[in-house]
């Protein structure tokens, strides 16, 4: 379906995308269906549409990123928006400027969308309360990474044709993972079964309260799952010089996905990883590059999903501003 046709059918009224916990199943499907329309643009000889011409998108990144930052930049460029890239290193935050002051000063240059990554949970939400521009959360601490989960769902749907009824295992450092949380919220809303797998210190039982199943035994769960999403140990969110398990070798032995372990899995198991990979720790090189892996498909899907998100939030923001202006005109009469 073309983006134009999708535009007439999608119901989306949110100015911001802060997380998937707050979205309905219909809103999540609206993003995935819009992304499907936009994915076709990447196959054209001229891979650009004028949809956001004259709009400005800022990447406001206070944490490192390869995939998310570059694909938001490319997504905005494919939609013909102007793109500004802010990274905290080299910025005036080193002189004491706050997050809100930084964002408000950039907004004063005339910005339509802030794409925000920050180590503090809730950073995108805080900015959405201080800015007129749309805010998209590109990862806030261990809270949420909504576009990562959306591209994960998009990839699963493309590969297996559905989400409802699938059994998805998310394996690894769940306690510190924004990717796990966003995936969990979205997968459950769309009717998938989710098992979180890892050592008890990294997969606390309290996740059951969110509707997940919890397992500490990857070998026991593997034969039953349709999709396995392998996560990196988030060393940067654990205490310095401390690990929540005896050693990396021990972790890898119990929870690393290897060819030997895959022999227990369904023949059409889908293997995912949000990146960056720690090859030889949570996933072996053979599995990462093997026939079950859709890791690079996930990256490609990220472009279409981020084009859809930018398009939807800009549209909703414009509608809201027009409605506000109409109300002010009425009040003035």
* Binding-site ranges for ligand CP (CB under 6 A): 65-68, 139, 148, 274-276
Alpha-carbon gap, residue 31 to 151, rounded angstroms: 10
Question: Residue 256 or 274: which CB sits closer to ligand CP?
Answer: 274
Q: Please state the closest distance from residue 226 (CB atom) to ligand CP, in A.
A: 21
CA distance 229 to 81: 33
Shortest Å, Cβ 280 to ligand CP: 19
Smallest gap from residue 195 Cβ to ligand CP (A): 21
Bridge partners for 229 per DSSP = 170, 272
User: What's the rounded Cα separation, in Å, for the pair 101 and 278?
Assistant: 36
For the CB of residue 276, give the shortest distance to ligand CP in the complex, in Å.
6
Report the C-alpha gap between 210 and 208 in whole angstroms. Answer: 5
DSSP string, 65-116: -SHHHHHHHHHHHHTT-EEEEEESTTSGGGGT--HHHHHHHHHTTT-SEEEE
Whichever of 198 and 274 has its CB closer to ligand CP, that residue is: 274
d(CA 18, CA 118): 12
Q: DSSP readout, 167-206?
A: EEEEES--TT-HHHHHHHHHHHHTT-EEEEES-TTTS-GG
Beta carbon nearer to ligand CP, 51 or 148: 148
Closer residue to ligand CP, CB minimum distance, 103 or 231: 231
Closest CB to ligand CP among 16 and 145? 145
The residue among 51 and 71 lying less far from ligand CP, judged by its C-beta, is 71
Q: Are 270 and 225 in contact (CB under 8 A)?
A: no
Counted residue by residue, the chain has a size of 333
Minimum separation from the CB atom of position 304 to ligand CP (A): 16
State in angstroms the smallest separation of the CB of 63 from ligand CP.
Answer: 8
Taking the C-alpha atoms of residue 137 and residue 115, their distance in angstroms, rounded to an integer, is 6
Min dist. Cβ of residue 69 to ligand CP (A):
6
C-alpha–C-alpha distance, residues 127 and 51, integer Å: 25
Cβ within 8 Å of residue 180, ≥6 positions away? 170, 172, 174, 196, 231
Between 190 and 231, whose beta carbon lies closer to ligand CP?
231
CB of 4 to ligand CP, least distance (A): 30
Of residues 10 and 175, the one with the C-beta less far from ligand CP = 175
| Cα-to-chain-centroid distance, residue 333 | 45
């Amino acid at each position: 379906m073309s983006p134009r046709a999708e535009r007439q059918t999608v119901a989306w009224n949110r100015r911001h995308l802060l997380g998937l916990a707050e979205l309905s199943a219909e809103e999540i499907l609206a993003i995935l269906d819009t992304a499907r329309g936009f994915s076709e643009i990447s196959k054209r000889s001229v891979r650009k549409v004028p949809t956001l011409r004259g709009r400005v998108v800022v990447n406001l990144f206070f944490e490192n990123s390869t995939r998310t930052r570059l694909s938001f930049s490319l997504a905005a460029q494919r939609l013909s928006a102007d793109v500004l890239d802010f990274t905290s290193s080299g910025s005036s935050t080193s002189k004491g400027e706050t997050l809100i002051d930084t964002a408000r000063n950039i907004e004063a240059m005339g910005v339509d969308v802030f794409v925000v990554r920050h180590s503090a949970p809730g950073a995108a939400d805080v900015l959405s309360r201080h800015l007129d521009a749309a805010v998209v959360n590109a990862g806030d601490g261990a809270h949420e990474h909504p576009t990562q989960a959306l591209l994960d769902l998009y990839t699963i749907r493309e590969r297996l044709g559905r989400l409802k009824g699938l059994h998805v295992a998310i394996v690894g450092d769940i306690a510190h993972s924004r990717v796990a949380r966003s995936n969990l919220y979205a997968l459950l809303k769309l009717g998938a079964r989710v098992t979180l797998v890892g050592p008890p210190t990294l997969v606390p039982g309290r996740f059951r309260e969110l509707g997940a199943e919890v397992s500490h035994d990857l070998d026991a769960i593997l034969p039953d799952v349709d999709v396995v999403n392998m996560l990196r140990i988030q060393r940067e969110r654990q205490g310095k010089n401390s690990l929540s398990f005896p050693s990396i070798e021990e972790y890898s032995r119990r929870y690393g996905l290897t060819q030997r372990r895959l022999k227990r899995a369904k023949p059409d198991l889908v293997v995912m990883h949000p990146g960056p990979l720690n090859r030889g720790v949570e996933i072996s090189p053979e599995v990462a590059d093997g026939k079950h892996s859709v890791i690079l498909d996930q990256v490609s899907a990220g472009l279409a999903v981020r084009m859809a998100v930018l398009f939807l939030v800009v549209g909703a923001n414009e509608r809201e501003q027009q409605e506000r202006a109409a109300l002010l005109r009425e009040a003035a009469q």
